[in-house]
Amino acid sequence: MQGTVATYDAATRSGMLLLDDGTELAFPARAFDASGLRLLRLGQRVRVETDATGEIVRVTLPTMP
């Protein structure tokens, strides 16, 4: 699943994504930490991985494996 960074707080390492279908979805710090990324920019395209409950567990760049 892919989306766009709508908000990102570097202090808390969490934020909100706008998915391609228009849905807003929050991501926690642990999902950002699992990515290995150092920062995110507003408007940046990202790929998200979710668990069985739909919670985001990893936020990565679309080009990352």
C-alpha 8 chain-centroid distance: 9
Along the 65 residues of the chain, how does pLDDT read in single tens digits? Answer: 899 999 999 999 999 999 989 999 999 999 999 988 899 999 999 999 999 998 899 999 988 66
**What is the rounded CA–CA span in Å between residue 42 and residue 3?**
11
Strand partners, 50: 56
Domain that holds residue 40: 2-60
Per-residue pLDDT at 36:
87
Per-residue pLDDT at 65:
63
CATH number at residue 52: 2.40.50
Q: Let me know if residue 52 belongs to a domain.
A: yes
Contacts of residue 15, defined as CB under 8 A and 6 or more positions apart, other chains included, come to: 5, 6, 7, 8, 9, 26, 27, 32, 40
Q: Let me know if residue 65 belongs to a domain.
A: no
* Burial zone of 22 (CB within 10 Å; 0-12 exposed, 13-18 middle, 19+ buried): exposed
Domain count, the chain: 1
